[in-house]
A and B are shown apart, each in its own frame.
Chain A
Amino acid sequence: MNFGKTAIYAALALFLFYAVLILSLLSFFEGKNFLTVLLAPDVLFSIQVSVLAATVAMFLAIAIGLPAAYALSRLNFPGKKVVDTFLELPMIMSPIALGAALLIFFNTRVGSTIQEKGILFVFEFPGIVLAQFATIAGLATRLMKTALDEISPRYEAVARSLGSSAWDAFWKITFPLSLRGLLSAMILCWAKAVGEFGATVTLAGTMAFKTETMPTAIFMALASADIPKTITLILILAGIGLTALYAVRLVEKRPPGR
């Protein structure tokens, strides 16, 4: 068979695989129930919690990940390779294991002190944020590093020779030039945080009107055989994810200065 055609068929097969999964949901979908389920207070609450926690986790991941990404992309320092390798840990580690590690940490002396004298994380809203942050921080740093790698360090070198400080050169040159890549990283990490389940359920549990996020609500609805609620929540989650991915495509489309 023609090589090109084989490749295209493979791509189409993958598309069909996911499309069939979504369409199969529709076979149990009842339109009249959709709005009722969507507007139910517990569902609205879980959407609100998910979006809010993911937004906070994403901003935290960006705030720490951006300077870290810059260091990994531009600077040389001892242990750089070790740090770089550790960033991939959340990607290869099961989210439940990550959540369990966090839970165990809060049972250590340091963790207990943080809980007692600082913020309560276990089975609380900050726990959701922390679980999502742990899952996406490495990814955010890696994606932002890739965005920064694409910008030649010579722009900054020229800017500095023209009189800009290192901060100035970053904010006036590298940041705007890598903005599209950084925005893509933000959106992807946010979407991943919204869909995070394993670490969240392990650290924050799934208490209605307290720590129930959309993915944990799906799990609970499925466990109690509430199929309309399960499908509605899955469709909302898929809708959020696909919208985020489409936003990434839009952001990446236009090169800078055009």
Chain B
Amino acid sequence: MITLQNLYLRVGTFRIDNLNLDLQEKQIHVLLGPTGSGKTLVLESIIGLRRFQGGRILIGGKEVQKLPPEKREISYVPQDLALFPHLTVRENLLYGLRAQNKARNGTDSHLNRLIDTLRIGHLLARYPHGLSGGEKQRVALGRALAPAPKLLLLDEPLAALDPALKSEIQQLLLSLHRSLQFTALHVTHDLDEAYLLGDAVTVLIEGKVEQEGRKEEVFLRPHTVPVAQFLGLRNLVPGRVLKIDERERRISVSFWGGEITIPADHAARNLIYGEEVILYLRPEEVLILREGKPIKESLRQNILTGEVVRILDRGTQHWVFFRPLGVDSQLEIHLPNYVFRNLALQEGQKIQVAMRKESFWVIPVLIPKPPAQGNF
């Protein structure tokens, strides 16, 4: 396991304070955050290119923060790949093996397997300038993985690729990971990429870990408002805790002048009475009711009547903007194209929508202060 403990780093006025990360072996861990959140600083600290003022980095239980980069056994793929332009593809691939005295006359089975998996055998005698974007990506991955590092660091290497090539390299990275089972930390601001590649995700915003966990947990159940905003979540409705039923494990929250009761485990933490919260309702889980069709019992409690304000054709799905009666806000509803066609919705049309209470997620607005650390 690779661990970052209480990392403290200050660059000018920017500060990363008390950052903790646990990277499980053989997993791809994604460090996700907007531009300027400090992702690259964390990465440079792990490689050993940047000194930090406090904290520890442990690889397999051994502290490495005092070791120079070349002693850490961490490979790095930067955004621009930095393939050595004066060396052939073969020399690029062998660079790490030679530097670490692991080269064995080119017969290394690990290297040959990499070359086969990456399909770069025909490129070995060529120089990087003659390679296509995809070929360069494959060579960069091969070069980084050739010395079998303890950790592979990927600093947004797919950020500049066009969508088709990006998808191809993402698939390749996944199949490479399945076959070689390496441990990786992938830094990105791309949400789709984070979800596709990450086994675990840490969200870093303004130098602070806002949330970490399994990707499903992070993406569907954000713990803080900044995470929800960064993930671009729709349908974030402000509310207040009205009732807490500890016996039934339920909470009631105000919702556009009304009230909605939600299972207590659908909140990011234990809430207190009167606390301000944000209700998140997934746009895919808002149901548009058809006139004359019977309504299921589970949907009868949370029905809103209103009108379709706007419809956006997003190619693979349609986004319907719905305004409930008497409310000056809108709900966004995402419909697969076939559902949209069946409903034949028009802008200005009066409709009814239903929401399951399980489709809500409650995010507290205030973050509890960490307990004061005293001397014992």
B99:A164 contact, CB within 8 angstroms = yes
Query: Is A162 a contact partner of B68 (Cβ separation < 8 A)?
Result: no
Residue of B nearest to A165 (CB): B70
The segment out of B77-85, B178-186, B196-204, B362-370 that lies at the interface is B77-85
Q: CB distance A160 to B129 under 8 Å?
A: no
Q: Tell which of A155, A158, A255, A256 has the most Cβ of chain B within 10 Å.
A: A158
How many interface residues does chain B have, given as a range?
20 to 34
Given contacts A157-B76, A257-B129, A258-B127, contact A163 B85 (CB under 8 A): no
Let me know if A157 and B86 touch, CB within 8 A: no
Instruction: Provide the bound-state CA to CA distance between A257 and B95, in Å.
Output: 16
Q: Which residues of A contact B86 (CB under 8 A)?
A: 176-177, 256-257
- Dominant SS at the A interface? helix
B75 touches A152 (CB 8 A): no
Query: In the complex, which residue of chain B has the Cβ closest to the Cβ of A162?
Result: B96
**Chain B residues whose CB sits within 8 angstroms of the CB of A234 once the complex forms:** none
Q: Is the CB of B49 within 8 A of A162?
A: no
User: Taking A257-B128, A257-B129 as contacts, is the C-beta distance between A163 and B78 under 8 angstroms?
Assistant: no
A109 part of interface (Cβ distance < 8 Å): no
B99 lies within 8 A of A152 (CB)? no
Residues of A146-164 at the interface with B, using a CB-CB cut-off of 8 Å, are: 152, 154-155, 157-164
Whether a CB of chain A sits under 8 angstroms from the CB of B100 is yes
Q: Of the candidates A158, A166, A255, which one forms a contact with B82 in the assembled complex, judged by CB atoms under 8 Å apart? A: A158
Contact among B69, B84, B85, B129 for A161, CB-based, below 8 A: B69
Binary interface encoding of chain A residues 164-196 relative to chain B, with 1 for a CB under 8 A from any of its CBs, else 0: 111010000100110000000000000000000
Residues of B within 8 A of A159 (CB): 84, 95, 99
Kindly identify which residue among A160, A165, A166, A173 contacts B84, using a CB–CB cutoff of 8 Å: A173
Q: Is the CB of B75 within 8 A of A161?
A: yes
**Quick check: is B47 within 8 A (CB to CB) of the other chain?**
yes
Instruction: State the CA gap A166–B85 with chains docked (Å).
Output: 19
Residues 233-258 of A at the B interface (beta carbon under 8 Å): 255-258
Determine the chain B residues whose CB is within 8 A of the CB of A165 once the complex forms.
Answer: 68, 70
A129-146 CB mask vs B (1 if < 8 Å, else 0) is 000000000000000000
27 of the cross-chain contacts (CB-CB < 8 Å) are A154-B78, A155-B84, A158-B76, A158-B77, A158-B78, A158-B82, A159-B95, A160-B48, A160-B68, A161-B47, A161-B70, A161-B76, A162-B143, A162-B144, A163-B70, A163-B96, A163-B99, A163-B147, A164-B95, A165-B68, A176-B86, A177-B84, A177-B85, A256-B86, A257-B129, A258-B127, A258-B129
Residues of B within 8 A of A (CB): 44, 47-49, 68-70, 72, 74-78, 80, 82, 84-87, 95-96, 99-100, 127-129, 143-144, 147, 153
